[in-house]
């Protein structure tokens, strides 16, 4: 029965391909998906590499980020990045080698640029992509400041964010040579 069906399907496609010139088939394609506009591609093409490649224009400080955090993040991540219903974002420094390792941005993440990428792409959880780039820079600065990694008035932009060295960076090893 199965083999019989396969022959039927093959015969069907053979019939179509004989009845249509090849160019027509190629032009019509399998009708999967839709072609995206340049704008739509740009909206989805937001990867930021560890070295900062892909960071957009814009800037922000921890001071500006406090308001962004309170309005958009605090409900889930708690006052100052701890004690919320979702992931703890601050603290855990020096805990990774203890019996109770606490992985946070500050204690674990190797690159500050990833924080920008992640927040812009995925947060706030219920409305990802809703923050302006300046707000993402600002809330990134706020979280790095709360983790004791940068000063409160440090301005983060595409250059200065890429220069921030995360405390745990050197404890990662390459699984392969880059």
Least distance from ligand HEC to the Cβ atom of residue 26, Å: 40
Least distance from ligand HEC to the Cβ atom of residue 82, Å: 12
Q: Which is nearer to ligand HEC, 17 or 130 (CB)?
A: 130
Taking CA 149 as the corner, what is the angle to CA 119 and CA 96, rounded to the nearest 5 degrees? Answer: 85
Taking CA 55 as the corner, what is the angle to CA 51 and CA 56, rounded to the nearest 5 degrees? Answer: 165
Contact positions vs ligand HEC (CB under 6 A): 72-73, 75-77, 86-87, 89, 104-105, 115, 118-119, 123-126, 139
Least distance from ligand HEC to the Cβ atom of residue 17, Å: 45
Q: Which is nearer to ligand HEC, 46 or 75 (CB)?
A: 75
Q: Which is nearer to ligand HEC, 52 or 60 (CB)?
A: 60
Least distance from ligand HEC to the Cβ atom of residue 33, Å: 26
Rounded to whole angstroms, how far apart are CA atoms 159 and 161?
A: 6
Rounded to whole angstroms, how far apart are CA atoms 5 and 11?
A: 10
Q: Which is nearer to ligand HEC, 126 or 177 (CB)?
A: 126
Q: Which is nearer to ligand HEC, 74 or 154 (CB)?
A: 74
Least distance from ligand HEC to the Cβ atom of residue 115, Å: 6
Rounded to whole angstroms, how far apart are CA atoms 105 and 91?
A: 8
How many CB atoms sit inside 10 A of residue 135's CB?
A: 21
| 107 in Cβ contact with 96 (< 8 Å) | yes
């Amino acid at each position: 029965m199965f083999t019989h069906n396969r022959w039927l399907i093959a015969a069907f496609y053979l019939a179509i391909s004989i009845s249509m010139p090849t160019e027509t088939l190629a032009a019509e394609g399998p009708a999967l998906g839709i072609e995206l506009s340049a704008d739509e591609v740009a909206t989805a093409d937001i990867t930021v590499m560890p070295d900062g490649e892909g960071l957009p224009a814009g800037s922000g400080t921890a001071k500006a980020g406090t308001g962004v955090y309170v309005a958009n993040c605090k409900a889930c991540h708690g006052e100052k990045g701890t004690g919320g219903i979702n992931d703890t974002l601050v603290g855990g420094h020096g805990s990774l080698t203890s019996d109770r390792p606490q992985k946070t941005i500050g204690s674990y993440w190797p690159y500050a640029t990833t924080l920008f990428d992640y927040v812009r792409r995925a947060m706030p959880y219920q409305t990802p992509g809703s923050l302006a780039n300046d707000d993402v820079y600002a809330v990134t600065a706020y979280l790095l400041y709360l983790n004791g990694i940068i000063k409160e008035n440090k301005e983060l932009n595409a250059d200065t964010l890429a220069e921030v060295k995360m405390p745990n960076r050197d404890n990662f090893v390459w699984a392969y040579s880059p």
